[in-house]
Structure 1
């Protein structure tokens, strides 16, 4: 388990440790099924090809989950996600690797909450798959 990050221990501009996520058919299909996304483009290669893509591709909810996992793994168990904004770009296809990176974009105190905003990027061989902003409360 990750050590607990605290509001006072982080600085704006600080880089989070990177994370490599191998993109497999199993990850794509399991993520789609876990999020009740039964669109054929996420688990049927032949159908995805008729739709104009070379293979099945990751759905947005799986990408969102990976973004949250990346930030939570860094922040530790006492952190609470307050909001996520996410934008998809290049698709994640099997056989690729998504390299995730993050930067502490801002810190602010709102009432009793000590909020840190993390800018997250996940890139694969085609470009940026996901860009996100995650706001979390830290102890």
Structure 2
């Protein structure tokens, strides 16, 4: 319930459509993610799963990646990486998947989050 309330409050204050989204700037933000993730279609998993096609994908769905038990539980309960859920996770991973293994503390800057989503969309579309 806490997550739903936080997400609703965030969406009311910062709708995605109201933010300028710059995929090139998002690629620079993604450089923080590269230590653990790849984004190439068919790319390898690293410490974290490959993120190609992450938008609108069910959580915990990358073949061959060993997800934490809390992430598997959230996935079993229907978590999908909609833009809203992914933004919440990027902002504060532990609020979305308490006890999860992602060590990243979160991206607090809303403009950087919007740019990162633009890059994730573009990188996936370019390969399809």
Q: TM-score range by the shorter chain?
A: under 0.3
- Larger fraction in strand: 1
TM-score normalised by structure 2 residue count? 0.24
Greater helix share, 1 or 2? Answer: 2
Considering Cα pairs closer than 8 Å and 6+ residues apart, tell me whether 1 or 2 has the greater RCO: 2
Q: Which has the larger radius of gyration?
A: 1
TM-score computed with the length of structure 1 as normaliser:
0.23
